[in-house]
Copies of this chain bind each other. A is one copy, B any other.
Amino acid sequence: MVTALQKGLPDLTSRQFTLLLHVYLKDQAHTVRGLAEDLNMSKPAVTRALDRLGKYDFVRRKTDENDRRSILVQRTIKGSVYLREFGDMVEQYAEEV
User: What residues make up the interface of A, taking CB atoms closer than 8 Å to B?
Assistant: 1-2, 5-6, 11-15, 17-18, 21-22, 25-27, 38-41, 97
Contact = CB atoms under 8 A, between A and B. Distances in A.
A25 to B, nearest CB: 5
Contact of A40 (B2, B18, B26, B38): B2
Contacts of A27: 97
A6 to B, nearest CB: 5
Contact of A1 (B6, B17, B26): B17
15 contacts: A1-B14, A1-B15, A1-B21, A2-B38, A2-B39, A5-B18, A5-B39, A5-B41, A6-B40, A11-B15, A13-B13, A13-B14, A14-B14, A14-B17, A27-B97
A95 to B, nearest CB: 12
